Amino acid sequence: MKSVEVKRQHRPPLRRCVELVLSGVKYRLFRAAITVGIIALATAFLMTMLSESVITRRVADALEAEVAPRKMLQFWVGRLAEPPNLAELSGTIARAERGGPRWNEMRAWAELNDEQLGQLHDVARRQQTYLTFFTQMTEARRRRALNGTRHSGPRMFGALIDHEASDADTARLNEDALKRMTDYLSEIGKPLPTSLDAFEGFLRDWWTTRAWRERVIAGHAEAIETLNQPGRLLHEREPLDVLATTDADALHAALSADAVGFRIQREDLQTVQREAAYAHDAQRIEAALNSSLLKARLAERRNIEPHEVNARSLLEEVSSSSGADWLVSLTDKARGLGGASLSTERIHQAALTETDKAAVTVEAARRGRLAKIVAGAGQTVAVHEPVAYLSESDAGVEAYLESLEADAARQAARPENVVPVVMTKVNTMSKGTIISWHAAEGDTVEPGQILFEMLPDTPPATDTAKTFRRWILRLCKPLTADQVAERFTSGSLGDAERREYRNWGELTDAQMTLLVKLPARTQSYLDFLASMTPEQHLDNYGAFPAADPAAALREALREQGVTLPLPGWMAQHVRFAERWLGAAVPQEAGYRLFEHYLDDRRRAPALHARIAAGHAEAIAALRGDAASDEPALLAERSPVDLLAAADEKAQAALARAEFHMGDKDLRKIQEHVGLKRDAERLRTLVTAPLLREELAKHRNDLSEDDVTADALMRVATDKAEAEWVNDLLGKVASLKPLGLTAERVEQVAERQLAARELAETEAEVSALTVKTGFMGFSARTIWLLVVSFIVCVVGIANAMLMSVTERFREIATMKCLGATDGFIMINFVLESCLQGVAGSIIGLVLGLVLGILRTALQYGTTALQQLPAVDLLATAGLSFVIGVVISALAAVYPAWVAARLAPMEAMRIE
Amino acid sequence: MPDPDTNLPSDSSRDIPAGPETQTPKSHTPPQANDASQRAVIIRTRGLKKSYRMGEVVTHALQGIDVELYRGEFIIILGPSGSGKSTFFNMVGGLDSPTEGRVFIDEVDVAQLNAIELAFLRCRKIGYIFQTYNLVQYMTCLENVTVPMAFAGVDADEARERGLELLDLVGLKERWFHKPIEMSGGQQQRTAIARSMANLPSVLLCDEPTGNLDLKTGDEIHKILRRLNVERGVTVLCVTHDHRLIGMADRIMWIRDGMIERLANRDEVTVEAGSIGGQENA
Ligand SMILES: Nc1ncnc2c1ncn2[C@@H]1O[C@H](COP(=O)(O)OP(=O)(O)OP(=O)(O)O)[C@@H](O)[C@H]1O
Ligand SMILES: [Mg+2]
C-alpha cells in the first residue's frame, strides 16, 4: 500500500470564514433574524430577571439604609418607654456583640461579667434555633409537643423543666414530657433541629441563666424609672419629644449617667435625634388634621371630598413649597384660636357681659398734659361734662375754673389752651361714675392711653354684672347715709354686709340690731295703717288724714323728724288703733312700743351716717390715703382689677378694710370675672386672621376689616352666632401655629411621604430578598434566575439546532469541496457567535429596559433613584456573555454532528 | 455544432464530438483494455461491498465490486435505478465508507485516511458533480468556483483569476457574479463542473450530471466533460442513464444489483449499439 502522501488540509483564514458566514447570514436573513430574535428574547428574559433582582436588591439595600435611622429611633423610643419582654431580650442578647453598646448596657444592668454574659449570649443563640422550630408549628401541635404549654415565646421551654426538682443553679428536666415530645415529634415527622442531647443541654443552660435575663430586664426597668423621676429627662414627657428637643450633650449625659446606664454612640444619638426631630415635626404637621376646618380647606384645595382627606393627602399637599406655605400661613392665621374651648352658652354669656360695658375704660383722644382732674374716683359725672382738663399750665386751668365758678351761667369762655376731658357716652348712659384714674395730674398723656375707668349708669343686664357693678361702686364711691338706710330697707342686706356696716360704723350689737330691725318695724306700722279702710278712717276722724295713710306716715316721719309727743293726728291714729286692735296691741305696750320705735327711728340716721363715714374711711384705706403698713391695694390697681383678680391678697386686703364679700357675692363676682376673662379670650380671637376671614365669610354684613373685637362681641350676643363661633373654635381646635418654616414643612412632608412609600415597598422587597440567600438573593429569585437561564439555554439551543440541521446539504457539499470538520465547526460556531452577539445585545437592552420599568412600577421612584449602574453593567455583561456562550455552545453540538457525518449521510438528511 | 450560448473558447484546437457516434480524435491514445497493465491505475476497488440496514431489512447495495480505473479514462456507469450506481460513486469518492472491501485512490487506501486527509483528498484529487448541482446558494458563480481553492490554500487573487479561467472554460465567464438561483440548470451544472475542476483533480466523479437537464443542455455538459477529459487528462467517472454518452466514453460499466454486470470498451459496445437499449431495459 502506498504511503499517504496527502498533506494536511488547509483551513481558510478566519477573515474568510467570517466573510463566508456573513454572506450566508445575509442570504438567510429571515432565518437568521428569527434566530437572533430567539436569542434576544431568551437573553432579554434572563436580563430582565437579573436586572430586576439586582435592582430589587439595591432597593432593598437602600431601603435598609434609609429605614435604618427610623428603626433606630423606634428602637430607642421603645426602650426608653419600657423594658423588653423576654423574647425581645433574647433577640437582643443573641445579636449583641461582645463589648458593644448593648453588651455593656446589659452587663451593667444585670451586674454580670463578660463570661456570664457570653454564656447568656450563647444560650440566646441556641434558643433561636429551637424557638424558630417550635414557633413554626401550629399552636395545637406546639402545645402537644411541649407538655401543653400556652406560651409561644421563650417561656415555652419552661414546660420541659421539672420545676419542683429544679432550683436556681440546677435544672431537672421533665423526662416524661421530653419523652412525650420526642415521640410526638417523630410521630408527626418533624425531628428536632439538633440532637436531643444538645436540646437538653440547652434547656439546662436556659434554666440556669434565667435569673440573669430577669436581672437585665429589671436593670433596664430601673434605668427607665430613674429617668422618669422628677427633674430627670423623661419626667412626664414622651420619649419622642425628649429625643427631638433635648440638647445632644444633655441627652447623652442623661442617658449614659451611671444610674441609668444606656449606652449610645454620639453618631447614633445624632441620627436618633435627627429622626426624632423629623418624627416630631411630622406629628405636628399631621396633628393639624385634627382641625376639621383644615380638613375642609385641604379638601377644597385638593379638590377632593372632605372624607378623603387623610394624613397622606395632607403630606402630599405640603410636600410642595406652595402647599407648605399654605399650611404654615393657615396655621399662623389660626394663631390665637387654638385652645379656646368655650361652650356656646359661655361664649354667649361672655359676650353679653362684655357688651354690658359694666366698666368702661376711657382713653385719651389727644396728646396733652393732664393739668387738673375735676372728678375724682367715685364721683358721678353727666355725659359730656368735663372730668379733667388738659393744659400746659396749671394756672390757666385754675383761672378758667375760677371764672366758671364766678359765672353763674357757666358760660365763661374757655381759653384755647385748656382742653376739657369729658365723660364719654357709652350706649344709653346718661351719667358715669369714675372708678379710678389711671393717669395722675401733671402726666403727659398720649392718644390711646387709658385715662380713667368709669361705670355707666345704665343698669347691667346680667345678675353677676349687677353684683360686680355694685362692688365696684362700693370700692370707689362711699355710700351716703341715705344709701346706707336704703340698704337696710332693701331687705337684701346679707350677713357679710351687715358685718361690714357694723365694723364701719363701729356699732354695738344693739345698735346693729336696731338698724336691721327698723325697716321691718316701720313696715309693720305702715301695713297696719294701710290695712285700714277709708270707712274706718271716716268713722274715727270723720275725715281722711291723707289719701294714703301710709304715705302720710312716711311723710310725717321724714319731714318732721320723729319727735314725741306725736302730732295730734297721729295720736288719734294710735288711739284708734288701740281701740280697734285692742287685743293685738295692748294699749300700754302698743303705745310704748310705738314710742320706742319712733325713738329708734330718730337715732338711726346718725348711725347710718357713721356707717357711711366708715365706708369712706375704708375706701380711703384701700386707696392708701390713710397711713397703713400694708401697701395700698387700690393705689396700684383699679377696683375692677382688684375684683377681677379676686386673689387671696386682694381678699385679705379687703377684709382688713372691713369689706366683706359674702359667699354669694364672691361666687357671682368670680363668675363675672370668669365671664370677663372668657370675653377677653374671645376678644383676642379677633387677633387670629383666620377668624376674621371666616367671620367675614359667614356674615355678609361684615368685611374682614370690620371684624373687631367689639364686632365679634356684638355678633356673639346672638345665641345662634355664639354657636357659630363655638363651632368655628371646635373646627379650628388644635390648629396651632406649627412653629416650623415652610421649607421645613416641605422637607418633613417629603421625607414622610418617602418613608410611607418605603414602608409599602419594604414588605414587597423583603419577600424577594433574604440576607442569607445566595449572593443576597432569595430562594425565589434564584429559582426565577435558574428558570430564566434554562429558558435562555433551551431557546438558543433550539434556534441553533434548527439553523444547523436545515443546512446539512450545504455542509455535505462543503465537505465534498474539501472543507475540514474544523472549518465547518468554526463556521457554525462563528455564525452562532455573531448571532449570539447581535441577539444578546438586543436582548440585554430590551431586558434592561423591561427590568427597570418593571421595578419602577413595583417600587416607584425609589427604584429609579437607586439604579445600581455598576451592578447593572456587570449584569449586562453577564447576560451578554451567557447569551453568546450559550449560542456558541448550542451550535457546537449539531455542528459537530454535522461535521462528523460522512458527506453522503449528511446529504441524505433533509 | 456548438451552441453559441456555451461560449466555447475559440482557440479550442479541436472539435468536440457532436454525438456519441462521432469518433473523437485524441491527442493521446485512448485507454485500451488490453494495455491496462501498463497504464496507471487511479482508482482501484477490492471486494467493495455496501449494505444498508434499515431495521430488520438489510439492503445489499453493493455486493463486491472489484474494478480498476485508469488515469485519463472516461468511464460511464450504467445500470437500472436502484442498482447501486450512486452507492458505488459515493464509495469511490470517499463520501461514504464501505461495509467491506477497499477503495484505493492513487494507491491510497481511503479507509486509512483520517478526516483531514480525507478532506485533502476530496479537495485536490477528486471533483464531484451531482445531479442536483449542489451549489452554495448564497455565493456567486465565481465564489462557488473558488471555494475549493480557498480550502486548498490558494490566495484570493489567484483563486479569482483561476476561477474566471475555469468559468471561461465552461463558458460562464460573463456571468461570474450571478447567484445560483439566477441561473438555468445547465448554467448551474456548468458552474458545478468549473468548481469541480478548481484544484485540478485527477478524477472527476459525476452522478447523473444531466439527470435534471434536457437533452440539448445535457449534451453540452457531456461535451464539456469530454473536453476536460481530453484536454486536461482528467479521469472522468460518470454515472448516467444517458446512453448517448456511450459514444463518448472509453469504457462502460454496467452495474446491476450491486454487481458489475459488464465492463466493456466503447469499441465493443458501439458494435452492438442496437442492443444497448435492450440491455438497459432487461
Ligand atoms: N442510505 C440508504 N439506506 C438504505 N438503503 C439505501 C441507501 N442508499 C441506497 N440504498 C439502497 O441501495 C440500493 C442502491 O441505491 P443507489 O442509490 O445506489 O441506486 P442507483 O443505482 O443510484 O439508482 P438511481 O439510478 O435511481 O439513482 C437501492 O436499493 C437503495 O434502495
Ligand atoms: Mg443514483
Query: For A560-603, what is each residue's pLDDT tens digit?
Result: 444 444 455 555 655 555 554 443 444 444 556 666 777 777 78
Rounded to an integer, the average pLDDT of A149-161 is 86
What is the whole-number distance in angstroms between the Cα of residue B78 and the centre of ligand 2?
10
Which CA distances in Å does A607 have to A475, A480, A488, A594, B26? 21, 12, 12, 20, 183
B122 in reach of chain A (CB within 8 A): yes
How confident is the prediction along chain B (282 residues), in pLDDT tens digits per residue? 444 444 444 333 334 444 444 344 433 444 444 454 457 888 999 999 999 988 889 999 999 999 999 999 999 999 999 899 989 998 888 888 889 999 998 888 888 888 888 888 888 889 999 888 889 888 899 999 998 998 888 888 999 999 999 999 888 888 889 999 899 988 999 999 999 999 889 899 999 898 888 888 888 899 999 999 998 889 999 999 888 888 888 999 999 999 998 898 888 876 555 444 444 443
- Chain A positions touching B157 (Cβ under 8 A) are none
- ipTM at complex level: 0.82
- Chain B positions touching A10 (Cβ under 8 A) are 150-153
**Alpha helices, DSSP H only, in A769-868?**
779-805, 808-816, 821-859, 861-865
pLDDT value for A528: 63
Q: What are A437's strand-pairing partners? A: A452
Ligand 2 (ion): which residues have CB within 5 A?
B 86
What is the DSSP pairing of strand A431-437 with strand A380-382?
antiparallel
Written as one letter, the residue type at B74 is F
pLDDT value for A36: 87
B52 in contact with ligand 1, CB cutoff 6 A: yes
For the record, the C-alpha cell of B235 comes out as 479521469
pLDDT value for A288: 83
B188 in contact with ligand 1, CB cutoff 6 A: no
Domain ranges of chain A: 14-62+776-907, 65-279, 359-458, 502-623
What is the whole-number distance in angstroms between the Cα of residue B79 and the centre of ligand 1?
12
Closest CA to A45 of A780, A879, A890: A879
What is the whole-number distance in angstroms between the Cα of residue B112 and the centre of ligand 1?
25
- Chain A positions touching B143 (Cβ under 8 A) are 23
A:B CB pairs within 8 Å: 103
Written as one letter, the residue type at A447 is P
Q: Residue A85 half-sphere exposure, CB side, CA atoms within 13 Å? A: 6
Residues in A 19-38 with any Cβ partner in B closer than 8 A: 23-24, 26-28
Judge contact between B116 and B144, C-beta under 8 A.
Answer: no
B87 in contact with ligand 1, CB cutoff 6 A: yes
Asked if the Cβ–Cβ distance from B119 to A814 is below 8 Å, we say no
Asked if the Cβ–Cβ distance from A904 to B90 is below 8 Å, we say yes
pLDDT value for B22: 39
CATH numeric code, A359-458: 2.40.50.100
For the record, the C-alpha cell of A787 comes out as 428558570
Q: What is the pLDDT of residues A761-789, one digit of tens each?
A: 666 666 555 444 455 566 777 787 788 77
pLDDT value for A727: 83
pLDDT value for A908: 75
CA gap A31, A831 in Å, rounded:
12
Closest C-alpha residue for ligand 1 atom 8:
B87
Q: Which residues contact B5 (CB under 8 A, 6 or more apart)?
A: B171
A908 in contact with ligand 1, CB cutoff 6 A: yes
CA gap A219, A84 in Å, rounded:
11
For cell 421625607, the residue is A751
Looking from the CA of residue B84, the nearest atom of ligand 1 is 18
A468 vs B263 pLDDT, higher one: B263
Asked if the Cβ–Cβ distance from B108 to A6 is below 8 Å, we say yes
B82 in contact with ligand 1, CB cutoff 6 A: yes
- Chain B positions touching A22 (Cβ under 8 A) are none
Site to probe by mutation for ligand 1, drawn from B57, B85, B237, B238 as the one with most ligand atoms within 8 Å of Cβ, is: B85
CA gap A826, A883 in Å, rounded:
18
- Does position A556 have pLDDT exceeding 70, yes or no? no
Strand, coil or helix: A815: helix
CA gap B73, B69 in Å, rounded:
7
Asked if the Cβ–Cβ distance from B97 to A902 is below 8 Å, we say yes
What is the DSSP track for A63-132?
HHHHHHHHHHHHHHHHHHHS---HHHHHHHHHHPPTTSHHHHHHHHHHT--HHHHHHHHHHHHHHHHHHH
Asked if the Cβ–Cβ distance from B116 to A902 is below 8 Å, we say no
Q: What is the pLDDT of residues A853-899, one digit of tens each?
A: 888 887 776 667 767 788 888 888 888 888 888 888 877 887 788 77
Peptide bond into A565 cis (omega under 30): yes
A481-490 long-range contacts (CB < 8 A, ≥24 apart) are A481/A605, A481/A608, A481/A609, A481/A611, A481/A612, A482/A608, A483/A612, A484/A608, A484/A609, A484/A611, A484/A612, A484/A615, A485/A604, A485/A605, A485/A608, A488/A515, A488/A516, A488/A518, A488/A519, A488/A608, A489/A519, A489/A522
The CA-CA-CA angle for residues A520, A523, A527, to 5°, reads 140
CA gap A284, A263 in Å, rounded:
29
**Number of neighbours of residue A427 by Cβ within 10 angstroms:** 10
CA gap A18, B222 in Å, rounded:
37
Asked if the Cβ–Cβ distance from A817 to B138 is below 8 Å, we say no
- Does position A810 have pLDDT exceeding 50, yes or no? yes
Asked if the Cβ–Cβ distance from A2 to B108 is below 8 Å, we say yes
| Phi, psi (degrees; rounded to nearest 5) at A313 | -65, -35
CA gap A199, A839 in Å, rounded:
57
What is the whole-number distance in angstroms between the Cα of residue B130 and the centre of ligand 2?
10
The CA-CA-CA angle for residues A76, A80, A86, to 5°, reads 90
- Does position A38 have pLDDT exceeding 60, yes or no? yes
Strand, coil or helix: B236: strand
Q: Which residues contact B138 (CB under 8 A, 6 or more apart)?
A: A23, A24, A26, A27, A28, B179
How remote is the C-alpha of B55 from its chain's centroid? 33
What is the distance in angstroms between the Cα of B253 and the nearest Cα belonging to chain A?
22
DSSP conformational letter for A461 = S
For cell 477573515, the residue is A15
**Alpha helices, DSSP H only, in A344-479?**
344-356, 394-406, 463-476
Q: Which residues contact A493 (CB under 8 A, 6 or more apart)?
A: A487, A501, A516
A551 vs A31 pLDDT, higher one: A31
pLDDT value for B78: 92
What is the whole-number distance in angstroms between the Cα of residue A805 and the centre of ligand 2?
23
Judge contact between A368 and A458, C-beta under 8 A.
Answer: no
Q: Which residues contact A787 (CB under 8 A, 6 or more apart)?
A: none
CA gap A527, A551 in Å, rounded:
11
- Does position A5 have pLDDT exceeding 50, yes or no? yes
What is the distance in angstroms between the Cα of A819 and the nearest Cα belonging to chain B?
6
DSSP conformational letter for A451 = E
Instruction: Please tell me the least confidently modeled range out of A30-39, A126-135, A432-441, A763-772.
Output: A763-772
A902 in contact with ligand 1, CB cutoff 6 A: no
Q: What are B78's strand-pairing partners? A: B254
pTM passes above 0.90: no
Rounded to an integer, the average pLDDT of A643-666 is 76
A517 in reach of chain B (CB within 8 A): no
Asked if the Cβ–Cβ distance from A9 to B119 is below 8 Å, we say yes
Domains annotated on chain B, with CATH = 73-93+125-280 (3.40.50.300)
How remote is the C-alpha of B257 from its chain's centroid? 21
pLDDT value for A12: 77
Which CA distances in Å does A67 have to A275, A356, A584, A860? 10, 61, 101, 16
B57 in contact with ligand 1, CB cutoff 6 A: no
**Shortest CA distance from B136: residue in chain A:** A810
Test mutation, B134, B160, B204, chain A, max A CBs within 10 A: B134
Rounded to an integer, the average pLDDT of A901-906 is 79
B50 in contact with ligand 1, CB cutoff 6 A: no
**Number of neighbours of residue A534 by Cβ within 10 angstroms:** 10
Which CA distances in Å does A56 have to A67, A770, A878? 15, 11, 17
Q: What are B103's strand-pairing partners? A: B45
Closest C-alpha residue for ligand 1 atom 11:
B61
B6 vs A679 pLDDT, higher one: A679
Judge contact between A336 and A709, C-beta under 8 A.
Answer: no
Residues in B 77-106 with any Cβ partner in A closer than 8 A: 90, 93, 95-97, 104, 106
pLDDT value for B6: 41
B108 in reach of chain A (CB within 8 A): yes
Mean pLDDT of chain A: 80
Strand, coil or helix: A390: strand
pLDDT value for A364: 84
pLDDT value for A357: 66
Judge contact between A670 and A646, C-beta under 8 A.
Answer: yes
The percent of residues above 70 in pLDDT, for chain A, comes to 85
pLDDT value for A893: 81
pLDDT value for B30: 44
- Chain A positions touching B155 (Cβ under 8 A) are none
Judge contact between A840 and A886, C-beta under 8 A.
Answer: no
Q: Strand B41-54's sheet: what is its strand order?
A: B57-70, B41-54, B100-105, B108-109
- Does position A46 have pLDDT exceeding 70, yes or no? yes
Q: Which residues of B81-120 are buried (b: 16+ CB within 10 A; e: fewer)?
A: eebbbbbbbbbbbbbbebbebbbbbbebebeebeebbbbb
B63 in reach of chain A (CB within 8 A): no
A621 vs A193 pLDDT, higher one: A193
Q: What is the pLDDT of residues A724-750, one digit of tens each?
A: 888 888 887 777 777 888 888 888 888
What is the whole-number distance in angstroms between the Cα of residue B59 and the centre of ligand 1?
9
Helix (DSSP H) and strand (DSSP E) numbers for chain A = 39, 8
Test mutation, A810, A816, A904, A908, chain B, max B CBs within 10 A: A816
* Residue of B95, B107, B152 lying closest to A816 (CB–CB): B95
Strand, coil or helix: A734: coil
Judge contact between A378 and A433, C-beta under 8 A.
Answer: yes
Asked if the Cβ–Cβ distance from A1 to B95 is below 8 Å, we say no
Written as one letter, the residue type at A153 is G
Test mutation, A2, A4, A6, A907, chain B, max B CBs within 10 A: A6
pLDDT value for B238: 92
CA gap A111, A51 in Å, rounded:
51
- Chain A positions touching B153 (Cβ under 8 A) are 10
Asked if the Cβ–Cβ distance from A902 to B136 is below 8 Å, we say no
| Phi, psi (degrees; rounded to nearest 5) at A897 | -60, -45
For the record, the C-alpha cell of A593 comes out as 312700743
Judge contact between A569 and A543, C-beta under 8 A.
Answer: no
* Residue of A27, A812, A820 lying closest to B115 (CB–CB): A820
CA gap A776, A756 in Å, rounded:
25
